[in-house]
Structure 1
């Protein structure tokens, strides 16, 4: 009943009613369309990233690399001891390609190594070249969830931004009508002998 009275209120301007409808539509879009957009985006991203993860896991191979020494062109112990333990320094290492042929090159291990003879895990492609580790299914899922959340927040932001633009236009129109009404009604108000 309160809404019905408000709709038929003689003081209710058409722009007030339009503003209320715009707010209702924006609320419905934020509550229903934004989460649906996020879910669809997350599901599509998850499917794509899971395919990529399976492909990477099939194409990339784990190998054990053995440290031969410091990387060429970099003298041993050139960093201060306080910073050396935090930095991962490139090393000259040897590893085996998937077909068993030995490879040698400069690698940056995941953790600092203790020196020549230390070993660490490295990922290679089919030719034995070092590559990044393959994406895991859990990592793909986490990225898809973040993409879905981002899409939902973006859709909600678009709905709210559109609502604000429409309300701004309605307020401008409302003030323009009010200015015209004041201009017609009272330029002579308050002056003596103006027949008001």
Structure 2
């Protein structure tokens, strides 16, 4: 931890300058923040994100209904001009089909959905999620996925907080170094003209 490098400047010796002591305090404060504030920031961000994501997951699970759909036929191909390479890669693994399923109200619905290519033969069945009106939707987020996203959010927040602390420490040390050089220049300007003369300082 580079923030602790300046701690040695607390040692008492006749050559220690005021900027050395200030640099030691900067290092101490930065080390304390890295050990205390950064973990707390990560925990707070992760806990907040987890609460929000868990609520969203519960809402999705309440509003989305699982059902079983049956493939009727392959869907007509649509123009693929301008599609990205990533989208084209997904198309190789999935295909659009016309399928039939039962809506939550008991009515039969038919529509175009996307599914795994290997299970898209006519007559094949596959799980499908719908909303309360019977329209196909993505599968709801589960609690484990929400928790994983929250962990990533917490780690990201902790990393950003650590980078902020280190950036401020570096700026403060740079300012102290510039101040030290300015003092040296002033001292040399005051002493330099008499350097080497007989009786200097008498």
Same fold (TM over 0.5): yes
- Match runs of 1:47-196 below 5 Å: 47-73=51-77, 86-110=92-116, 112-187=118-193, 189=195
Picking from 1, 14, 25, the partner of 1:10 is: 14
Contact 2:95 2:117 in 1 (8 A): no
- Asked if residue 20 in structure 1 is aligned to residue 24 in structure 2, the reply is yes
Contact 2:95 2:120 in 1 (8 A): no
Q: Deviations over 1:41-75 (max 9, x none)?
A: 11121111111111110000111111111112359
Poorly superposed stretches of 4+, deviation over 3 Å: 3-8, 83-86, 187-190, 193-196
Contact 1:64 1:95 in 2 (8 A): yes
Query: How many residues were matched structurally?
Result: 185
For structure 2, the residue ranges without an aligned partner over 5 or more in a row are: 1-6, 80-88
Contact 1:85 1:112 in 2 (8 A): no
* Pairwise CA distance, 1:167: 0.6
> C-alpha distance in 2, partners of 1:102/1:4?
77
Question: 2:105 is paired with a residue of what secondary structure?
Answer: coil
- Asked if residue 30 in structure 1 is aligned to residue 39 in structure 2, the reply is no
> C-alpha distance in 1, partners of 2:14/2:104?
82
* Pairwise CA distance, 1:112: 3.0
Question: 1:12 is paired with a residue of what secondary structure?
Answer: coil
For structure 1, the residue ranges without an aligned partner over 5 or more in a row are: 76-82
> C-alpha distance in 1, partners of 2:116/2:170?
49
> C-alpha distance in 2, partners of 1:111/1:27?
54
Question: 1:89 is paired with a residue of what secondary structure?
Answer: strand
The TM-score with structure 2 as length reference comes to 0.81
* Pairwise CA distance, 1:33: 1.1
> C-alpha distance in 1, partners of 2:30/2:156?
18
> C-alpha distance in 1, partners of 2:188/2:109?
87
Answer with 105-114 or 166-175: which moved more. Answer: 105-114
> C-alpha distance in 2, partners of 1:61/1:128?
8
Q: Please give the root-mean-square deviation of Cα atoms over the aligned residues, in Å.
A: 2.7
